[in-house]
Amino acid sequence: MDFILPHQLPHALDDHPTVRVLSLDCFDTLLWRDTHAPRDLFGALPETTVPQRQWAESRARSASVLNRRKNEVGIEEIYAELLPNGTDEERATAVAAELAAEARHCYAFLPTVELMRAAKRTGRQVIIVSDTYLDTDQLRGLIAAAAGEDVAGMIDRLFCSSVYGASKSEGLYRDVLAALPFKPEEILHIGDNKKADVVGVAPFGVKTLHLKQFSETTEQRLRLESGINAMLHPGEDGRITSHQPHRAALSAHEPQIADDAEGFGFSAIGPVFYGFERWLQDEAHALAASRGGKVHWLFLMRDGHLPMLVHRAVTADGTGHPVEISRFTATGSSFEDEAAVMRYLQAEICGDLRAVARQLLMPSPEIADVLRSLPRDKAPAAFLQAVRKPNRMARILKASASFAERLVAHVRALVDPAPGDTLMLVDLGYNGTVQNQVEAVLSRGLDCHVAGRYLLLREQYRTGYDKRGFFDSRHYDANTLESFAANVAVIEQLCTAAQGSVVDYKADGTPVRRETTIKARQSEIRDRVQAGTIGFARAQDKTILRVQTFDEATLWRRASAAAMGRLMFLPLPQELAVVNAFEHDVNLGVDDTVALFDQTIAHKGLRERGLFYMKGSERMYLPAELNGEGLALKLSLLAHKRFGLPLKYADFVDRSIALPVIVADGTHVTTGNVTATQTHDGYYMAPIPIGDCRFSVGLQFGQLFEWLQIESAHFLPVERFLSDKQRAGRDEIEARPSLEGMEQTAPNLFRCEDAFSFMMVPPPRRKNDQPMMLMVVFRPIVHRLSENAAAQAPAQSRAAA
């Protein structure tokens, strides 16, 4: 075996007892960077763009080939090209700035350090052989600055390609062997670049191992995260955009995870919640410093369950309490006066009135009586009038006050805060609705400050409360936050606890929960995903050795945002397989659930409407439905959401077909054309108005096509067709066409015998005078040649022969 996995590094010498020298590559073997690619680090250079730094190195290498017939250069030569008019002092300052940036963003990979320690314990030498533009002193200084003097002190010799004028692929190891008093077979060389570290070294008789950093799937995920990072964080001078501090943990631990759900949690969810936990710790320290008193960590159940597990996994101070306050109980405790009731009704009066009455804490018999008396045509107004009756309003306010007392008792039973303490409510977000409702209840009932700290915060209105988000308006524009919020359901369902939502409390604060409607299998899969997430949190700090500290808050915020954005918009097939059957619990004190995504509906919707089929969907994780439709479509959706592009369906249509049709009502027959617009995957949608079901329509496919696919043909109201919120299947009536000169040869596949072939579609049964539309979705397969083109084709064929 000529390769080794990262977690196997500490024992790499066990199978090589005759080896006397451990030879290591430096970058991505001993020293790793916080970035996706080495060039990304150039974004941290002052007054220099990434392309400028790349161009300078390219010009320096070209000059070296021309002048010395060698491709290798030193960093000083690069900066001579970058600053052709600069002084020696200016160039030296710029070189020092790059070395300092490298030191800030490099760290030692602990499995490699453990291998070095094993080598030294057994009396072996350790050397570094690196393809680099740094010289020996610069490289040793960088290792010491990034990994510590202890690590640098274990290195006996360093060999840099810039010093010898040749890379490993160009024979650098010839010079290495000439400088060492050891036979080639007594040396084991390990590096991450197979071409350089195996193909370039093994011919000299040296034992070699290729360090396989990542599987192909992990490499793809990191590439996609880097792309998302670039879209979320446009370049800024002196700032890296492609942060990936979790690369080392993925490399060292992911190959050891056999379970798909656990691996999903480790790789896709783990970096998000590890970054969130680091930020929460910073926020708790800041709250304690600014306000005094104790900060009580209250994780709002159910979505706060996974953040609490991660917190407990990385801390040993016993903080972190599961507080059960749902939107239902928070709202139920908030009706302190009639104005509060009216504010609630203002937003909800046009919704499900039974759910609204339940939220107002009205008893079930009373709800039944009120709803039974409502007129159908003016139900909301009548309901509002019924609620405002003095006796009923008084009962609502009294019930809410009692509810608030029980909610306060629940919190007090968990933490029993002292006056002036801070209750830090931790949740996923994203509007902070629970905090909006319980802020006054908790601050008044417990004499505490309330602070909401959320994974994602994008307030719908400015409350003035103490709220902050790991991702919020301080760092992201409104479009980005809305893009996250629209797809956060997949995160919610992976974070929740296996329990029903709280709907009330006993007098002592004990929660009263409704039964969960989430399937047992979904809970079992979620538990495995959460185990992987916790595994990442524990592994991250045990995989790297970092000496320098810097702006790690920005580092992890950006990396976490990219990881979350990638999962939301560019999920991998194996990830979707884990959550394929998941449902989303809306958590409003009712039993409603909706599917996270449905690729069957998406397949139909794309062909009928293109990407705009999503506008009327009730499902919660729509980008997942685009799996299998190509990266271009997913990136289109991401760009549309991320940048808030004001595009409409017509803007996506750059090709159409004039489809000839016959319209008949039993007395009159007319002919004409309708415009069929392109949707997706080569399909077109032709809409034909049929009035109030009076007209039959003949679609003259034979004039245009010899072969075509017909995906669907159905009727729907014109109003529904024109709506931005059209939903697949709603108010649709399947058409029942007859064929004239058309033969169906396979499912959806038709052959037109001649130019007179057509499909006749009679109207559905008329129910009222509502105008209807026939919508036909088809895909051309073989176009029919015109008579002139058909006559020219044989002549062209003879001429070619």
What distance in Å separates the CA atoms of residue 87 and residue 80, rounded to the nearest whole number?
A: 9
The whole-number pLDDT of residue 694 equals 84
Among 254-268, 382-396, 600-614, the minimum mean pLDDT is found in 600-614
What distance in Å separates the CA atoms of residue 587 and residue 579, rounded to the nearest whole number?
A: 19
| Domains assigned to the chain | 3-213 (3.40.50.1000), 652-788 (2.60.40)
Give the chain's mean pLDDT.
90
Report whether pLDDT(746) > 60. yes
**pLDDT higher for 366 or 612?**
366
Q: Is 513 left (phi over 0), alpha (psi -120 to 50) or beta?
A: beta
The whole-number pLDDT of residue 593 equals 64
What distance in Å separates the CA atoms of residue 214 and residue 220, rounded to the nearest whole number?
A: 9
Q: Is 145 left (phi over 0), alpha (psi -120 to 50) or beta?
A: alpha
The whole-number pLDDT of residue 170 equals 95
Q: 3-state DSSP call for residue 130?
A: strand
- What does pTM read for this prediction? 0.89
pLDDT tens-digit map of 645-680: 888 877 888 889 999 999 998 788 899 999 999 998
The predicted model gives 233-256 an average pLDDT of: 84
pLDDT tens-digit map of 769-786: 889 999 999 999 999 986
Through-space distance between the first and last CA atoms of the chain, rounded to whole angstroms:
56
Q: Which of 247, 662, 279 lies closest to 470, judged by CA?
A: 279
pLDDT tens-digit map of 296-316: 999 998 899 999 999 999 997
Percent of the chain having pLDDT more than 90? 69
Written as one string, the DSSP assignment of 161-219 is HHHHT--GGGTHHHHHHHHSSS-GGGEEEEES-HIIIIITTGGGT-EEEEE----HHHH
What distance in Å separates the CA atoms of residue 571 and residue 229, rounded to the nearest whole number?
A: 15
Report whether pLDDT(800) > 80. no
Report whether pLDDT(642) > 70. yes
Contacts of 225 (CB under 8 A, 6+ apart): 36, 244, 559, 562, 563, 566
631-642 helix and 216-232 helix, angle to the nearest 10 degrees = 30
| ∠ Cα 12 18 19 (to 5°) | 55
Residue 340 CB coordination number (10 Å): 17
Q: 3-state DSSP call for residue 583?
A: strand
